[in-house]
Amino acid sequence: MIELNLLPDVKQELVKAQRTQRIIIVVSLLASVGAIALVLALFSLSQIQKKHINDLNKDIASQTATLQKDKQLKKILTVQNQLNSLTALHSAKPAASRLFNYLIQTTPSDVTITNFSVDFNTHKISITGTAPALSSVNKYVDTLKFTEYKVDESKKSTKAFKNVILSSYAISNNTATYTVAFDYDPVIFDITKKVTLNVPNQTTTRSSTEQPTAVFKEAPKQETP
């Protein structure tokens, strides 16, 4: 069987162009329908979200009004704020209990303390006491000057006390009385850190003797003429 194509070439190209045009139109229509459907879906979603946000705002306003009517609200908030600040306050307070250990570690065995004062705001300490000789007092002052400390497991040593001054002294009845004033590094009383004092080895303090004596002693009575 023999088939003859009697259509001229121009007619064939026209048919192909019409077929291509129909395909493009169909695809364009489908894309337009899809775009319109997507726009409608996004619009619906935005309306749903807007309604949800409005409902949440109404709920918040309602709950706020209910809480504002509660007469105990201010007390509850005050107590809650105080509880939240307890951790910060605890971290900021000085570890005052370390003071007695520091005094025992740094005070020579033949020196006693009759009175001391600590100002945790200005970081100053004043110590008054007695010693058998003025040389013991000087030894005490040198001990404070060269005492260092370390924090946690750090290998770095830092001076624990600064501006150590023998502000006054006197000798009476083979007993020397003294007053030493100095500044301390606030880190040694930081409650959040583990501090270790490093006292000079050449000084025999109560912490290194086998039978340490009492570090505190009653002040000698003053004789009245």
pLDDT tens profile 3-30: 555 556 666 677 787 788 888 888 888 8
Which DSSP symbol is given to 186?
G
Helix ranges (H only) for 111-206 are 134-146
Query: If you ran DSSP here, which 8-state letter would residue 193 be given?
Result: S
Question: Quick check: 217 and 114 in contact, CB under 8 A?
Answer: yes
Task: Give me the pLDDT at residue 143, please.
Answer: 92
Helix (H) or strand (E) holding 103: helix 98-106
Q: CA of 25: how far to CAs of 15, 22, 34, in Å?
A: 15, 5, 14
Task: Please give the pLDDT value at position 129.
Answer: 93
What phi, psi does 163 have (nearest 5°)?
55, 45
Burial of 141 (0-12, 13-18, 19+ CB in 10 A): middle
Closest to 113 in 3D by CA, of 222, 213, 223 = 213
Residues of the chain with pLDDT under 50: 206, 208-211, 224-225
Tokens of 109: 């065995």
The count of other CB atoms within 10 Å of the CB of residue 81 is: 9
Question: What does R_g of the chain's alpha carbons equal in angstroms?
Answer: 44
First to last CA, the chain: 156
Q: What DSSP character marks residue 85? A: H
pLDDT of residue 216: 62
pLDDT at residue 211, rounded to an integer: 45
Residue-level pLDDT at 210 = 43
3-state secondary structure at position 184: strand
Q: List beta partners, residue 176.
A: 131, 171
- CA dist 175 and 177 (Å) reads 7
pLDDT for residue 123: 93
| pTM score | 0.55
Q: What does the alpha-carbon distance between residue 139 and residue 201 come to, in Å, rounded to a whole number?
A: 12
User: 139: which 2 tokens?
Assistant: 């030894």
